[in-house]
Structure 1
């Protein structure tokens, strides 16, 4: 809507979901837009749709709008929503980690056998009353993303692996990026990234930060 007045067709951009470990693509062509209770989603991990203006005003903790990212089954991609702790598939309407399986799943991480086993060969644990053992033998890719399925469409609502742990302290990359942008005027807003890299010694994970600089006026050197 922001660019339509300038001649952009609103149909040229649509939600898509993918990751490098699954050869970039999982699904696309998102169609549904959901307004849900923010508290139920973030605190309880439950998707509670809010339909009308009265429900929105009465919703405790406010509401948030989520856009679907497409239909994995149309792309022959098997997507499951799984409890990251129990490794069991969650019920419909609940948030969990997105697990993906198809011929596009990568073989693993280069020279990282432990991480490859953990992330690329995950198996869904079966509940005690589930006699179907076939599904539990399938190996999925653990994406680290949080989401849910609604009417067969995938919705993304968070990221498990965002947390950065250094020296026993927890940091969110968004906080690091925002702090840096507020402290240094030369950084272009929204064009920074904080993440972890493999350590050069045995002290644990290290933080890396990259940023794009604002355009420097001609004839003026950047500090």
Structure 2
């Protein structure tokens, strides 16, 4: 269990939790800020595809991906809208993805109207490093192109070639889940879809479970 108010305060979070449609990336952090925040996670190299799913319709609303490379762990969130003041961002790549930052990122996407699907696949360290370099070179994605930006990255990786050229979140998730050695996890929470109400709940000290470190 984790106190979300504490997470918000600790990360200095500024949270807007819409999907990728219409989202515009904010100003980039400096390379020095990103380097200073870099976090190396001790777990095995992996890629996690995140898909935000509408609970009413079952349709996908947003795609993003976590990359745990030997050098550092990042989240690539093209045209995304969850940003933290103390987690530097350059070109839609979020740096310093500590266990707390990962947990809050996942939790921020799960609420009464949406759930977060996390599809995890272990990879070789070289594949994870390749993914990291690709997302660092892409720059900020245009609004509504989140799934295609993630798909384009994955399609250039060994073992993920079948995932290139996909434009919708659920099609990407369904294709990803058919790959070998993929594990599935869903995060559901009951936060209000009203952002002001959600912030009020955070300030009241609401707790949540947000998955693995």
* Alignment TM class, shorter chain as reference: under 0.3
Higher-helix-fraction structure = 2
TM-score (norm 2): 0.25
TM-score (norm 1): 0.24
Larger radius of gyration: 1
Higher-strand-fraction structure = 1
Structure of higher RCO (CA pairs closer than 8 Å, 6+ residues apart): 2
